[in-house]
Structure 1
């Protein structure tokens, strides 16, 4: 009777779990897994990346977009080490990812053999489940448990497999477990719901802060907010929960947010936090009564004092509250903030209309808005580009992904690759700064190799511009922020894709219109103004004073003013 090897069983189990692709780079310590993967290529694809970091970032992005587990693979030693950045992105953004890494053969462990690294210790902090496979018989149960824990704990599972294990046959007495997981339906206690109902009925100036956990409950959220007469503020991971131009929306909060959201928070007497553990508590109200809704009880009250905690599904919890709270007839607070928001949009429109060379980033985002489909996927990198997209791009029904808690440069391109694999019929764009794109740009050839027609917009200012601004706000002269970039359009052509370079405002819209219709991977290299500071919506005295000190230092160092005698 034919028995399968552990490597073949591993691939069969991944397919059984619904995994249809893996990101990775082949190598000696995983070749005994690569071979059964090759044989099953009609059911599960191997996406060869040029750097394992990009593979892990793509796996994390796939999980963020779909809710399905993202899978990446690497060899022992250097390959496994390269995975860490993407795995930490998955950990901090709480999405299910499985990392499969090779290891030296079992009888060589502990001998300081070539490429031997203590992977269990290395992955210990990043993983919710972290196991070395000890035998072929053990492998099926461990694979099922790894995937189950990644899903149920919303985190990273790591399987380290010594090179000899996948070659052994799995004996008939191997442990057999189930390839599925179940999730509980979580609903708050009635005692807590009643406390929240009473508190909300007494609210005079309520504000809602909606985060990642509010995705997928748009109608429930809008019904609740309308009955409460409460404006809705969005965290960065919550962007897209409701349309940015919806009458109840005040945009984002914090340094990348809007002035109306800052002012509404300052005046609020009641705060309702939904699916967020917002870290920048200095932007939250002082002394407001607070209701916090989250499926994870450990997040409630984690960073900010809470009066009522509701541990449960956000949609069902909001429906219960909406059906039981009084309709708030005094809508003056909401209407006042809506008026502020209208003024804010007019202010942004003035900034976006300014034509200049180098191009203003705000104008680029305005023109980009005109070519983006309503159901497009936007993979946004980290840096100033985050500010411009968060503040100026008006989301409707698009999906927006970013490295929100780790905030790692280089996430934009791998996210777009994952998005096109997840949704081959949707328009997919990566919006990157030159610093972020430079981190993972070698994997543009991955998009070319697998014919993934993504459009990459590069805001090219030859600077790590956000760090330049941070240094200036501290009152320092910028240092170490200059970048020497290639012509990214020519780079796209060299890789086998399509490249456009935009240097003047009039070229923007026609170029973007062409780029998004090409059926090949494309880079649009846009030269933008490095001196356009991503000023926060509300500037503190300390920030203004720091920037003034910086300008004085610049003038002194350049010899443009003299010191007094």
Structure 2
């Protein structure tokens, strides 16, 4: 949320092991983290003692810096180096501290270290940018796929999109780099995406990748000219064949391109997909604005939208709720969207909300979780109560692991072991010392959200929703076939599928 260093502590053994999932999230999403991990005393290392594990080995894959401190005099310099490495490589730095060293006082004079860290600035190559200008001017149907690298260039992106008449599609963690209701915005791409985004990608003749390492290349166009802009040269051409690579800051690069490029008069492609996106929003409203019970997840997002402040932070868990939030919440550029993007860790919604409120105490924080994701870390709601962090946690309670059920069905299988036990999360919130609201009818949804937003206390809104699969904006033939298979299997299982009698001379296949 801040780009600044996160610091975590643990004891040896199980404490250190528990850090791994969060640290892999940091690694995948390029967040600088310092770990100070305990270890058994030095004279016990290698003796298979109580709680001893090989710390350097377990952190080897996740860390950009991974060292064990062997003397107290080393500690200041090693901490300094670990922090610098975490910032420079945007990753996890681990220092393992045996218990006896932690207890010692530094006796000798230690080397002084500077506390200043200067991040390098990569200036984009003018020749590459000029080549990009040539391709952009020739293109009739350009499209932009923007990622988190565009978060510091929101105004420049909007101006660039308008100048070259290119619709904008985003990766999931980049939600908010352009307002969802901006006329040039087409939403997300892929399984969580919109139909206009899918179709525009199929239709384009120039793909501009901006600050993204989008992994689902099957949703990208085949054999079109590609320009990639990224501050990390290693990302350029990593996943998609690139004709022009610009290694540089998105903000500076777009500002230069906006100065060099004339306003495009070829706006047919943009206008075509503006109309398609307007139709898409109208289709979405049909589900969002229903007032029926059982409650649909789309209705919940629509009502959350009404209480969301202009600078709200959304901490979104992994699962079906990810799809509903990505597709139906209309983000403003002044709001933030927090999620476990590259690792896709369930259970991230509540700790993400707690961290957001700690980092930005004056901003509204709303957590969106499925019941499966929330129960993975629900005990941390006590932490929110302990520190009086007024977060609003909205739980989409369908009593199942919905995304896994959907994925099983999309593969043509019957859902297996995805059901969860019924649980009253509102009562749990009250038992923890927070506010709890149980919503079983649509009429209860709006007043519960408004009440939670008005109280200065941690709150849980437990919404009983209808189980609904998050159908992709565009279904593939294989997915349609698989759903058909799954439907037939269900009918067989229930004994309701009646086959016609076999006529003489014919055999069933």
Which TM-score band (shorter chain)?
Answer: over 0.9
Tell me which of 461, 466, 480 is aligned to 2:398. 461
**CA–CA distance in structure 2, aligned partners of residues 267 and 280 of structure 1:** 17
Count of paired positions: 500
* Partner secondary structure for residue 31 of structure 2: coil
Counterpart contact for 1:489–1:524, Cα < 8 Å: yes
Q: Distance in 2 between matches of 1:536 and 1:356?
A: 23
The runs of 5 or more residues in structure 1 that have no matched partner are 1-64
Measured after TM superposition, the shift of residue 191 of structure 1 is 2.1
Name 2:419's counterpart in structure 1. Answer: 482
Alignment correspondent of 1:115:
51
Are residue 525 (structure 1) and residue 462 (structure 2) matched?
yes
CA distance in 2, matches of 1:451, 1:558: 50
Alignment of 1:435-514 (within 5 A): 435-514=372-451
For 2:276 and 2:289, the matched residues in 1 are separated by: 20
- Alignment of 1:328 onto 2:264: yes
Match of 2:279 among 343, 346, 370: 343
Deviation at 1:398, TM superposition (A): 0.9
2:165 matched to 1:229?
A: yes
1:50-77 per-residue CA deviation (whole Å, 9 max, x = no partner) reads: xxxxxxxxxxxxxxx1111111111100
Supply the distance in 1 between the matched residues of 2:408 and 2:193 (Cα, whole angstroms).
20
Q: Give the one of 308, 314, 317 matched to 1:372.
A: 308
**Structure 2 SS opposite 1:481:** coil
Aligned equivalent of 1:77: 13
Q: Is 1:200 aligned to 2:136, yes or no? A: yes
**C-alpha contact 1:251 1:257 (8 A) present in aligned 2:** yes
Q: Alpha-carbon deviation of 1:173?
A: 2.4
State the Cα distance separating 1:183 from its structure 2 match. Answer: 1.0
Deviation at 1:197, TM superposition (A): 1.4
Offset, 1:175? 2.4
Q: By how many angstroms is 1:425 displaced?
A: 1.1
Is residue 2:189 matched to residue 1:253?
Answer: yes
**What residue in structure 1 maps to residue 41 of structure 2?**
105
Aligned residue among 292, 297, 316 for 2:252: 316
- Quote the Cα distance in structure 2 between the aligned partners of 1:402 and 1:213: 16
The two structures have a TM-score, normalised by structure 1, of: 0.87
Moved more, 185-194 or 240-249: 185-194
Q: Deviations over 1:507-526 (max 9, x none)?
A: 11111000111111110000
C-alpha RMSD of the superposition: 1.0
Shift of 1:211: 0.4
C-alpha deviations, 1:479-520, integer Å up to 9, x for none?
A: 010011421000111111111000111111111000111111
Q: What per-residue deviation string (whole Å, max 9, x for no partner) do you get for residues 195-230 of structure 1? A: 111111111100000101000211111111111011
- Shift, 1:563, TM fit: 4.3
Q: Counterparts of 2:293 and 2:344 in 1: how far apart (Å)?
A: 30
2:94 to 149, 158, 162: 158
* Residue matched to 1:392: 328
Name 1:4's counterpart in structure 2: none
Distance in 2, matches of 1:563 and 1:156, equals 60
Match of 2:32 among 63, 84, 96: 96
Structure 2 distance, partners of 1:76, 1:384, is 36
Aligned match of 1:12: none
State the alpha-carbon separation in 1 of the partners of residues 331 and 450 from structure 2.
Answer: 19
1:126 is aligned to 62
Partner Cα distance (1:473, 1:250) in 2:
25
**How far apart, in 1, do the equivalents of 2:23 and 2:172 lie?**
20
Q: Does 1:549 align with 2:478?
A: no
> What is the CA deviation profile of residues 308-339 of structure 1, one whole-angstrom value per residue up to 9, with x for unaligned ones?
11000011011111111232111111111100
Deviations 1:215-257 (A, max 9, x none): 0211111111111011111110110001100111111111111
Structure 1 residue matching 2:460: 3-state secondary structure: strand
| 2:334 is the counterpart of 1:403 | no
Question: Is contact 1:148–1:180 with CA below 8 Å preserved after alignment?
Answer: no
Structure 2 residues not aligned, in runs of 5+: 502-509
Structure 1 distance, partners of 2:327, 2:369, is 15
- Which digits, 9 at most, give the CA deviation of each residue in 1:353-373, with x for residues without a partner? 223322100000000100000
Superposed CA offset, 1:285-324 (max 9, x none): 1111100000100011111111011000011011111111
1:406 to partner: Cα distance? 0.2
